[in-house]
Amino acid sequence: MEHVLSSALVAEIEEALAQVSEIRAARVVASPGGLIDEIHILALPTKAPKQLARDVESTLMAAFGIEVDHKKISIAQLGQESVPQVADDSKVKARAQIKNISVEVAGVYVTVAVALELEGDLYTGRATGPASRTGRERLVAEATLDAIAQYLQGAFTFALEDVEIIRLGRESIACACVVLVTSLGEQAFAGSALVRQNDKDSIVRATLDAINRRLGFLTTP
């Protein structure tokens, strides 16, 4: 039995779909008889369209008990026409490698420089701020993102939400939360790395862990 949609239910469905990861906007078009004719989705280019369509179907069934034909679902993605159907590491060619991390202190301020190699080219990001312990941790992560920004040349923007060295059992772990900022909204990612060499190296690795796979999707032609 097909569900007859009221305008209020259509609004609820659109709101529920907008909460799905990757989806930034949803519009449900109902027929004069109150049945679903079309579902239009605007999403970040970080998941295959077929998977997004399955997410839409699952959300409608789980939240509203509505079964919808996938042919009625239209997917439009921001920034590129499609993404890889299989997210294997061989297609993630934009993975960054750490080449150098340097710290220069001038009075109560410190400048951190992080050099990364991406696809054979070297990008050096910098960040300056107060020379407090917490401030230095943030500056390392921000310098890492500055290097990534140079590589992306304004195509996408990553912003640091927070970074911290935490203790889990006998291990110290660097944790970073990074936000992908677009004109349609924000999406947060988390990364972590065990502290092996030093805190700075681990913070860079945690920051890259948060964005490396996403970076590969965003830069895959």
Domains of the chain, residue spans: 7-77, 89-219
What is the model's pLDDT at position 141? 96
The residue behind tokens 């140079």 is 150
Point out which residues pair with 168 in neighbouring strands.
171
Asked if 192 contacts 172 with a C-beta cutoff of 8 angstroms, the reply is: no
CATH class of 89-219: alpha beta
| pLDDT, tens digit (0-9, with 9 covering 90-100), for 94-111 | 578 899 999 999 989 999
Taking 70 as the pLDDT cut, the residues of the chain under it are 1-3, 79-94, 155, 183-184, 213, 216-221
What is the model's pLDDT at position 94? 58
Give the type of residue at 58: S
What is the model's pLDDT at position 50? 87
Model confidence, pTM: 0.58
What is the model's pLDDT at position 174? 92
What is the model's pLDDT at position 204? 95
What is the model's pLDDT at position 84? 41
What is the model's pLDDT at position 217? 54
Cβ-proximal residues to 42 (8 Å cutoff; 6+ apart), any chain? 23, 24, 25, 26, 76, 77, 78, 184
Helix (H, G, I), strand (E, B) or coil at 99: strand
Tell me how far apart the alpha carbons of residues 7 and 206 are, in angstroms, rounded to a whole number: 45
Strand ranges across the sheet with 157-168: 157-168, 171-182, 185-194
Q: Candidates 3.30.930.10, 3.30.300.30, 3.10.450.350, 2.60.120.10; correct CATH number of 7-77?
A: 3.30.300.30
Asked if 175 contacts 190 with a C-beta cutoff of 8 angstroms, the reply is: yes
- The two structure tokens encoding residue 15: 């709101």
